[in-house]
Structure 1
């Protein structure tokens, strides 16, 4: 079972009848996130492989994984919010063990994202895993 924040998103998705409503919900999740400061939008935090500009800033603390993120595309900001619900607050050693594909499939994201968005989502998950493994080492 995923973290409560992710479970809440999954439960909300169960009540939304069509993908357009779910899409709007993902966008609303992104709008609710605090934006990254411009000083953090640098090449070192940029995620390559995304069609949009995406920045993820890891901030592990005390063995717990935390991160912040931002994008210039609203749907991608929402996807970052979904990943935040899945990963933020998890022990760094547990982050690579999370089956992101399986958890995200529960939301039906695989069926409704373009190939470019899906590739970008995978790139974000990979960056999260890499930074968590580095923090755990």
Structure 2
């Protein structure tokens, strides 16, 4: 199953009437993540600042960065798909230019996830932006 785009996610979430339905949708998104090999679940791939364990592996090349992610929490897996929709298989320039704060505002996430989950999302975004910045020509 391919991951949805940011526009598809925004459209899909707008369809639901309640946040309970939106949470179910986000959790279902997490089921579409590629399997993360157990041997990659190493301390150097852990994203610091997340309440749950989140592992991030980078691939691709200088033109298009690809991310493989996983978490030990089902809701976080879904939140990771929201992040991947914005960043996966994009150029470093596109990653840095993407207005993630506006995207999260449109998703209305901050009002509906705990502050610790919000901090974890910010830590993941910061790590991805650092990777993209380091990959700039």
TM-score when normalising by structure 2 = 0.93
User: Which residue number corresponds to residue 100 of structure 1?
Assistant: 100
8 Å Cα contact 2:30-2:78 kept in structure 1: yes
Instruction: Give the length in aligned residue pairs.
Output: 134
SS of the residue 2:55 aligns to: strand
Q: How does 1:5-16 map to 2 (within 5 A)?
A: 5-16=5-16
Superposition misfits of 4+ residues, deviation over 2 angstroms: none
Paired with 1:32 and 1:120, the residues of 2 have a C-alpha distance of 20
Paired with 2:127 and 2:65, the residues of 1 have a C-alpha distance of 13
Shift of the alpha carbon at 1:94? 2.0
SS of the residue 1:110 aligns to: coil
Q: How does 1:1-137 map to 2 (within 5 A)?
A: 5-137=5-137
Paired with 1:92 and 1:60, the residues of 2 have a C-alpha distance of 11
Shift of the alpha carbon at 1:120? 0.2
> What CA RMSD, in Å, does the superposition of the two structures yield over aligned residues?
1.2
**Structure 1 stretches of 5 or more lacking a match?**
none
SS of the residue 2:34 aligns to: coil
Cα deviation code 1:82-112 (max 9, x no counterpart):
1111111221122112111110111111110
Shift of the alpha carbon at 1:62? 4.6
8 Å Cα contact 1:60-1:132 kept in structure 2: no
8 Å Cα contact 2:62-2:136 kept in structure 1: no
Paired with 2:89 and 2:32, the residues of 1 have a C-alpha distance of 18
**Structure 2 stretches of 5 or more lacking a match?**
none
